[in-house]
Amino acid sequence: MKVLVIGLGGVTNGGKTTLAEELKKMLPNCDIISQDDFFKPESEVETDERGFKLYDVLDALYMDEMVKSIRNWMKSPTSSGVVTQEPQNTCDNLKDTEDVYILIVEGFLLYNYEPLNELWNRRYFLTLPYEECKRRRSTRVYQPADTPGYFDGHVWPMYLKYKNELEENASNIVYLDGTKSQEELLSCVYSDIIQELKKLREGNQRVTA
């Protein structure tokens, strides 16, 4: 049994969750872990001098718990509740992948936490220009709700900070343009993951030969 751990990170409102859910429908033995499920309760999230709740930083998340959840899945993907239904478009590309289990981890802050970085087989990062990101963010309802000035005062500066860190320290990241259509993004990432599955399969065949 082989596992493939895919990171789907990037900007807020970049389309990460939608893309992850569409990929799950198309890939065999695929499960999703969402970083949003590891936010600390509001009472434990720091507030700065402007009254902004600092949600867009690593300290706002139970990152150790997240790593533990991913490692537990990797040890035993079949007991994780993953649905091993047939993908929607079974094709020759997916033959001989019954013993491969795929985990998609989606979130806005995946690649700036070192214990996570040793787990990825493939990493994607969705980007958006400032205006488009702000427009999309304004259409979403958050709990707690964004306060006036929150996007410009906290969300966007933290995105730029962590993205710059990423570009300085990380390699092998595939950057995706979040302004492209969902179909285009899905096609691009799906094709790439299929190539990873082929590599796994060929590796298996060499080992058993």
CA–CA separation, 39 and 54 (whole Å): 11
Residue 1: which pLDDT band, with cuts at 50, 70 and 90?
confident
CATH number reported for the structural domain that contains residue 124 in this entry? 3.40.50.300
Average pLDDT over residues 14-29: 94
Of the residues 31, 36, 99, 146, only one is catalytic, namely: 36
Looking at residue 143, its pLDDT comes to 82
Q: Does the pLDDT value for residue 33 go beyond 50?
A: yes
- Which helix (H) or strand (E) segment holds residue 73: the answer is helix 63-75
CA–CA separation, 89 and 41 (whole Å): 40
User: Is 114 within the bounds of a domain?
Assistant: yes
Looking at residue 84, its pLDDT comes to 47
CA–CA separation, 115 and 96 (whole Å): 31
Average pLDDT over residues 8-32: 95
User: Is 170 within the bounds of a domain?
Assistant: yes
Q: Side-chain half-sphere of 100: how many Cα atoms within 13 Å?
A: 23
- Tell me which residue range forms the domain holding 9: 2-77+96-132+149-201
Structure-token pair, residue 108: 């806005």
Average pLDDT over residues 126-154: 93
> At CA 97, angle to CA 94 and CA 102, rounded to 5?
100
User: Is 102 within the bounds of a domain?
Assistant: yes
Residue 61: which pLDDT band, with cuts at 50, 70 and 90?
very high
Looking at residue 28, its pLDDT comes to 87
The secondary structure of residue 86, as a DSSP letter, is P
The answer to whether 84 and 29 are in contact (CB under 8 A) is: yes
Residue 171: which pLDDT band, with cuts at 50, 70 and 90?
confident
User: Is 157 within the bounds of a domain?
Assistant: yes
Lowest-pLDDT range of 16-30, 86-100, 164-178 = 86-100
- Which helix (H) or strand (E) segment holds residue 175: the answer is strand 173-177
Going 18 to 20 to 26 to 32, the CA torsion angle's sign is negative
**Among 30, 40, 45, which residue's Cα sits nearest to residue 64?**
40
Average pLDDT over residues 31-59: 95
Structure-token pair, residue 10: 């990037």
Looking at residue 20, its pLDDT comes to 97
User: Is 58 within the bounds of a domain?
Assistant: yes
Residue 202: which pLDDT band, with cuts at 50, 70 and 90?
confident
**Among 201, 193, 200, 198, which residue's Cα sits nearest to residue 103?**
193
User: Is 155 within the bounds of a domain?
Assistant: yes
Q: Is the pTM of this model over 0.75?
A: yes
How many structural domains comprise the chain?
1
Q: Give 86-124 pLDDT, tens digit per residue.
A: 555 545 555 555 678 999 999 999 999 999 998 999 999
**Among 200, 21, 188, 187, which residue's Cα sits nearest to residue 97?**
200
Structure-token pair, residue 147: 């306060």
Looking at the DSSP bridge assignments, the partners of residue 39 are 61
User: Is 24 within the bounds of a domain?
Assistant: yes
36 catalytic residue (yes or no): yes
Q: Does the pLDDT value for residue 155 go beyond 50?
A: yes
User: Is 144 within the bounds of a domain?
Assistant: no
Averaged pLDDT score across all residues of the chain: 88
